[in-house]
Amino acid sequence: MGVCQECLVEIDGLANQRACMTKLAMTPDNRPMPVRRQRHLAEAGVMPRAGTDSHEADILEPDILVLGGGAGGLNAATAAARAGATVLLVDERPEPGGQFYKQPLAIPALAEEIAGDGQFAGGRALIAEAVAAGVEMRRGVQLWGAFEPLDLMIFDGQASRLCRPKRLIVAAGAYERALPLPGWTLPGVMTTGAAQTLLRSYRVLAGRRVLLAGNGPLNIQVALELARAGAEVLAVVELAPKPGVWALPSLGRMLTSTPALAFQGLRQIAELKHRGTAMLHGSVLSGVTQIAGGLRAEVKLWPAADGVRAFEVDAVAMGYGFQPANEILRALGSEHQFDPVRDQFITCLAPDMPGRTTTPTSAAAQTSMSA
């Protein structure tokens, strides 16, 4: 997913490249792409060919810089551009759209296959609106430094540029919370969103036999997408207990506020069960080991405290909710408070203007958080 930085490798002589964010391709001189194990950072250099000594002519100075090309970033950039501002939107992925509207590879056959998908179509529409409004987009760009008051260093894979906008909109979204457990760094163990990205953007199954574990509706949605694409989804391991009478008030509020989503979830669960997928509530993935031909995933079952069930799979996907990607705002000095209920730091907003952070800078940052 591009967050953990655990897959850094050297690609075509460039160190510190994220394997999970780099497309396989031929080099410019038509050679196979050389990929090597990452050397020690002291030898490799933190940012090779970076050229951080920017001349004044090289500084990017848009009215508004938008960080993140998901739903929040695209909508914010479009609104600002329509209001007359010069807007630069940067996103670290090859195509904008974010996690919800993630776009596929530009392959004609693939485009025909997914033409009727509502999420793809919605993303394409947002991107088209931003382009029509005059938003400048830079894809595959990583922000690697944020310094007060509003100096931001971006890296396009070859060189670094200083960006000094008048205003900053942070729409960095969120990233999945994985569970550190024995075997969680093995090949084939990934986040639920990573498995979905492989399928939706590249039409690649994470494995033929898959287990998903964690908490929340995304695991159910992705499990069904994988099953429909031909994978055998052995189980969805859900941390929450099985809904019962105690859950009726929550179910009532859900049916009242978002009935379409509630019924969609019920239909997805019913289809998974029909396909033979085990729904294990109140259970947790406890460890993954490598075996001949794949992985062995062990699940602690409830209510039996010592009950353990093992699954032999090709891939394990984990998703235990989301964490807001607020590292940029913390680097810029925005105030944050810890929320013990959600177990995460929340960006504090200024009381005089909705959406404005408490960043102590002359050019106060604006935030638009999209998950």
Domain boundaries, the chain: 8-44, 56-175+337-367, 189-243+254-320
Closest CA to 96 of 134, 69, 123: 69
Cβ–Cβ under 8 Å, residues 184 and 286: no
| Averaged pLDDT for residues 332-355 | 83
Instruction: Please give the DSSP secondary-structure letter assigned to residue 303.
Output: S
Token pair in block for residue 156: 């396009």
Pairing of strands 209-215, 315-320: parallel
Length of the chain: 371
- What single letter denotes the amino acid at residue 338? F
Q: Among residues of the chain, what percentage have pLDDT more than 70?
A: 86
The predicted model scores a pTM of: 0.78
Q: Among residues of the chain, what percentage have pLDDT more than 90?
A: 40
Query: How many angstroms separate the CA atoms of 310 and 294, rounded?
Result: 13
Q: Do domains 56-175+337-367 and 189-243+254-320 have the same CATH topology?
A: yes
* Cβ within 8 Å of residue 261, ≥6 positions away: 254
* Cβ within 8 Å of residue 155, ≥6 positions away: 47, 50, 141, 142, 143, 144, 161
Q: What is the pLDDT of residue 96?
A: 85
Please report where in the chains the tokens 């031929």 appear, as a residue: 26
Does the pLDDT at position 182 exceed 80? yes
Backbone φ and ψ of 27, nearest 5°? -70, 165
Q: What is the pLDDT of residue 85?
A: 95
Q: Which CATH code fits 56-175+337-367?
A: 3.50.50.60
What is the enclosing helix (H) or strand (E) of 65? strand 64-67
Q: Which CATH superfamily is domain 189-243+254-320 in?
A: FAD/NAD(P)-binding domain (3.50.50.60)
Neighbours of 318 (CB within 10 A): 26
| Averaged pLDDT for residues 206-219 | 95
Q: What is the pLDDT of residue 45?
A: 46
Query: How many angstroms separate the CA atoms of 207 and 66, rounded?
Result: 36
Q: At what angle do helices 118-133 and 71-82 cross, to 10 degrees?
A: 30
Grouping H, G, I as helix, E, B as strand and the rest as coil, residue 197 is: helix
- What are the pLDDT digits (tens) for 142-165? 888 888 888 999 988 778 889 999
Pairing of strands 174-176, 322-324: antiparallel
Q: What is the mean pLDDT of the chain?
A: 84
Instruction: Please give the DSSP secondary-structure letter assigned to residue 313.
Output: E
Query: How many angstroms separate the CA atoms of 75 and 243, rounded?
Result: 36
Q: What is the pLDDT of residue 305?
A: 60
- What are the pLDDT digits (tens) for 63-110? 999 999 999 999 999 999 999 999 999 998 888 888 777 777 665 555
Task: Annotate 65-76 with b (16+ C-beta within 10 A) or e (fewer).
Answer: bbbbbbbbbbbb
